[in-house]
Amino acid sequence: MFNETVLKEIEEIKARYPDRRSALLPSLYIAQREFGWLSREAMESVSKALNVPEARVRGTASFYAMYKHKPVGRHLIQLCTNISCMILGAEKLVDFLGTKYDVQPNGTSRDNRFSLVIMECIGACGTAPAMLVNTDFHDNLSEKRIEEILDKYK
Amino acid sequence: MEKFLLKNIENPDSADINEYLKAGGYKSLSKALGIEPKDVVEEVKNSGLRGRGGAGFPTAMKWKFAMADPKFPKYLICNADEGEPGTFKDRPILEKNPHLLIEGMLISGYALGSEFGYIYLRGEYPDANDILNGAIKQAYEKNYLGDNILGKGVKFHLSVHQGAGAYICGEETALIESIEGKKGQPRNKPPFPVNVGAWSMPTIVNNVETLSNLPYIIEIGGEAYSKIGSNECPGPKLFSISGHVERPGVYELPMGISLKDIIYNHAGGIKNNAKLKAVIPGGISTPVLPPDSIDCAMDFVSMPKAGSMLGSGAVIVMDDSVCMVKVTHRALKFFEHESCGKCVPCREGTDWLRKILERMESGKGTEGDIELLLDIAGNMSGKTFCPLGDGAAGVVTAMIKHFRDEFEEHIKNKKCSLADSY
């Protein structure tokens, strides 16, 4: 369950809205920050903190692609392969990540260093291909650029 | 053209309130607070401003519907869920010019009699989240937000609501569901959000760029603003250009500029002098155009006449290395993934279309597949709950209309001749 500090943080978020359920999406972000991913315990904690039925918490969370629905590696790579990225070579980069870093879409490398999620447009089409590593933006990607960038994420 | 929406963004500290004030920021707010709310609405009406999210609905008219509803409180939501693939036009405002958006929301809130605003920000923009929260904090400190703004007795509170990766939340009723802590599934209309929106109260949902135009309208006056760009759709417009052009990026240009001019003049033409094959003019939900159709005016009224839509003004340029079946397949993979599952024609239709395109692209297409695609698209069009399904159907229909020979080749030759080119 959440500690006092986190509960206070959630109380502050609740105050922004006319009803408590509206704090659900931000609370799920907090839960995955605290628990690493949206585990059963994470969602139970949200349910208790907001007094919203657990089924609703799980039902809502499962709708959204950016929540971590299973444990992820130390670093989360979110690579875009939508059209602007695709026509500039993003699909080959997916293959490269598999060969070089042992990470497949929706999977985690065996050394637990990287997880990979394929994204639907991250709004960096002008500097495609692009990816987020955790919350850092990286664009104009090539195999060489990816090697340089990922070197910093141990 | 003098820049307004992207003014000052070369300044590395442009997101700081002091830099914004130095560049003349928040003056339009003072001016607006000095006149009656109804006169602010009148200025916006005279400006001819249309919503920049994609639909192009006249902004003042939307406001008036909400104002005519006697219920209070009224909510103002900024749609910053910019998810239409190819679109990155709102990002420079959110990351470099957040106070322009906040000032626009304050002007809008004052006009509407709304005291509570939310910025629904897509989860894919973590930097913008930090920047907006920082800007909001600064605006509270300087008394541009709070219970007694600039000592005029005006109240407005603002916060960021972060989405979590669902394209459909760009649709305004789905966005409202999402802000209420639910799955982002569109609502039946009517009632419209202007009457029954967030928490069942009158709610205005306006796009980032729409709201960011308000300080300019107040500064120069509605009438002067209405003379910029095209007659029926005035004002500056942000275009995001990506794909095979020499200079991709976000450009602030007058509404109604020719698509050809954007590509060949502003974006520097086709990359490496390659041959142009196709242009998606307004984000991937808008119908594709062949090279001989790009001499068209980019505004909400002219583009349908040219066979497409302005959409979000996201221009995706493709040279002749691109396989149109592969592009269509990728687009449908997107629509299938993002379909919310609420209505059957969209949920099943996007899945069927994607499967047929997948087998075509992998050389397993069969005779009659093109007709099957058109049949399914025809059965989706106009029969889905929200525009997502319509968009998916329209993409397939337009691709086959303009590039039918490529679809036929895939079936005949049992392979994609461009499969490995990128």
pLDDT at A88: 97
Residue B420: its pLDDT value, please?
Answer: 76
CATH of the domain at B352: 1.20.1440.230
Same structural domain, B331 and B313: no
Size of interface A-B (CB pairs under 8 A): 142
Judge contact between A10 and A30, C-beta under 8 A: yes
Mean of the per-residue pLDDT values of chain B = 97
pLDDT 10s digits, B254-270: 999 999 999 999 999 99
The interface residues of chain A toward chain B in range 78-117, judged by CB-CB distance below 8 A, are 78, 81-84, 86-89, 91-92
Q: How many domains does chain B have?
A: 3
pLDDT of residue A31: 98
| Per-residue pLDDT at B419 exceeds 80 | no
pLDDT in tens, B303-324: 999 999 999 999 999 999 999 9
* pLDDT tens column, B171-210: 999 999 999 999 999 999 999 999 999 999 999 999 999 9
Domain final residue pick, B200, B225, B250: B225
Is the same domain home to A29 and A92? no
- Quote the pLDDT of residue B138: 98
| Distance from C-alpha of B86 to C-alpha of B282, rounded to nearest angstrom | 8
pLDDT of B99 higher than 90: yes
pLDDT at A45 > cutoff 90: yes
* CB within 8 Å: B422 and A127: no
Q: How far is A13 from chain B (nearest CA, A)?
A: 10
What pLDDT does residue B417 have? 85
* Residue-range definition of the domain harbouring residue B403: 324-413
| Confidence (pLDDT) at B309 | 97
* CB of A18 less than 8 A from some CB of B: yes
Residue B1, pLDDT > 80, answer: no
Which residues in chain B have their CB less than 8 angstroms from residue A123's CB?
A: 82-83, 87-88, 91, 122, 124-125
Cβ neighbour number for residue A72 with a 10 Å cutoff? 20
Nearest CA in chain A to B183: A60
Q: Residues 111-140, chain A: which have Cβ within 8 Å of B?
A: 119-128, 132, 135, 137
CATH for A36:
1.10.10
CB A140 within 8 A of CB A93: no
- Specify whether B202 is located in the same domain as B283: no
The CATH number of residue B178's host domain is: 3.40.50.11540
Q: What is the pLDDT of residue B421?
A: 80
- CATH code at B269? 3.10.20.600
**Confidence band (pLDDT; 50, 70, 90) for B378?**
very high
- Contacts B322 to A, Cβ<8 Å: 87
What digits encode the pLDDT tens for the residues A69-114?
A: 999 999 999 999 999 999 999 999 999 999 999 999 999 999 999 9
Q: What b/e readout covers B117-156, taking b as 16+ CB neighbours within 10 angstroms?
A: bbbbbbbbbbebbebbbebbebbeebebbbeebeeeebeb
A23-42: average pLDDT? 97
Q: Which secondary-structure segment (H or E) carries A118? A: strand A114-119
Tell me: pLDDT of A145 over 90.
Answer: yes
What confidence score (pLDDT) does residue B124 get? 95
Q: In what order do the strands lie in the sheet with A75-80?
A: A107-108, A114-119, A75-80, A131-133, A136-138
Boundary of a domain, candidates A36, A63, A90: A63
The CA distance from A154 to the nearest CA of chain B, in Å, is 21
Q: What is the pLDDT of residues B51-75, one digit of tens each?
A: 999 999 999 999 999 999 999 999 9
Considering the domain architecture, whether residues B53 and B155 belong to the same structural domain is answered as yes
Whether B223 has a pLDDT exceeding 80, the answer reads yes
Are B209 and B235 in contact by the 8 Å Cβ rule? The answer is: no
- State how many domains chain A has: 2
Q: Return residues 106-145 of B near A (CB < 8 Å).
A: 122-127
Beta-carbon separation of A120 and B183 below 8 A: no
Task: Dump pLDDT digits (tens) for B12-61.
Answer: 999 999 999 999 999 999 999 999 999 999 999 999 999 999 999 999 99
